[in-house]
Amino acid sequence: MSELKALLFDVDGTLANTERDGHRVAFNRAFKDAGLHWHWSVEEYGWLLQVTGGKERMRFFIERRNPPVPAGVDVDRLIIDLHAAKTIHYTQLLGEGLIPLRPGVEQLLREAHESGMRIAIATTTTPENVTALLGNTLGAGSVDWFEVIGAGDVVPHKKPAGDIYTWVMEKMQLAPEECLAFEDSRNGVLAVHDAGINAMIITTNDYTRDHDFNGATTVIDKLCSDGQGAITLLSGYDPQTNCIDLAAARRVHAAAQGLAGKLTA
């Protein structure tokens, strides 16, 4: 059985509930600034989340919803410009302290950093969004806790393809069986498995609680108990804790390796 050597984290929806109150709001502000009569409601954005990547999401919206686009506008250029404006609005929201980390995230990251456990980011959001979130929640210098930040367009195919996880593991010179991934969505599950990683903790959120998480090692509603209640195990291996710390992470990883061994025996 392989030793756990690294924790790999998705960002949006996993580290923080950034989608509904962060990215969606920032997109709407960017649309308004550009004079576009587009607005993504909470429900509409939930539908759009089937597509990963902000630029890809806008293109999907244009193709499927056929919103009004000014005559003569280059759609490719429009998407690029809107995404750049949206990123500015998103970082402003973070700077205002409007997007906190999810329960248990800071505790686990700090413990991992202080103990020497290797940690990395594997996300489809832009590097600027990642650094802004970390800096505004964990403080200046926290970006350096992460050995590798795999983000944005560094790989050709975004989740549910496993490219970003494969890229991160190659940079860290790690094998899939040495990693534990943290995700929040079905696309995340698919990406992790596509990269050959068996060990995975899912923390659901308002947008993903009804997703199909078949194949995930552990599915829970949050990493740590908070003022709204204890951790709820939704499916998979029970880490038998009220807060996912490194000891619990190692138990989940070991359980996944055991299951993988049975499947390949």
The catalytic residues are: 10, 12
Give phi and psi for 135, each to the nearest 5.
-65, -35
Q: Please, which residues bridge with residue 233 across strands?
A: 220
Backbone dihedral angles phi then psi of residue 181, each to the nearest 5 degrees = -100, 145
Rounded Cα distance between 260 and 265, Å, is: 9
Spell out the SS3 assignment of the chain.
CCCCCEEEECCECCCECHHHHHHHHHHHHHHHHCCCCCCCCHHHHHHHCCCCCHHHHHHHHHHHHCCCCCCCCCHHHHHHHHHHHHHHHHHHHHHCCCCCECCCHHHHHHHHHHHCCEEEEECCCCHHHHHHHHHHHCCCCHHHHCCEEECCCCCCCCCCCCHHHHHHHHHHCCCHHHEEEEECCHHHHHHHHHCCCCCEEEECCCCCCCCCCCCCCEEECCCECECCECCCEEEECCCCCCECCHHHHHHHHHHHHHHHHHHHC
- Token readout for 58 is 């806008």
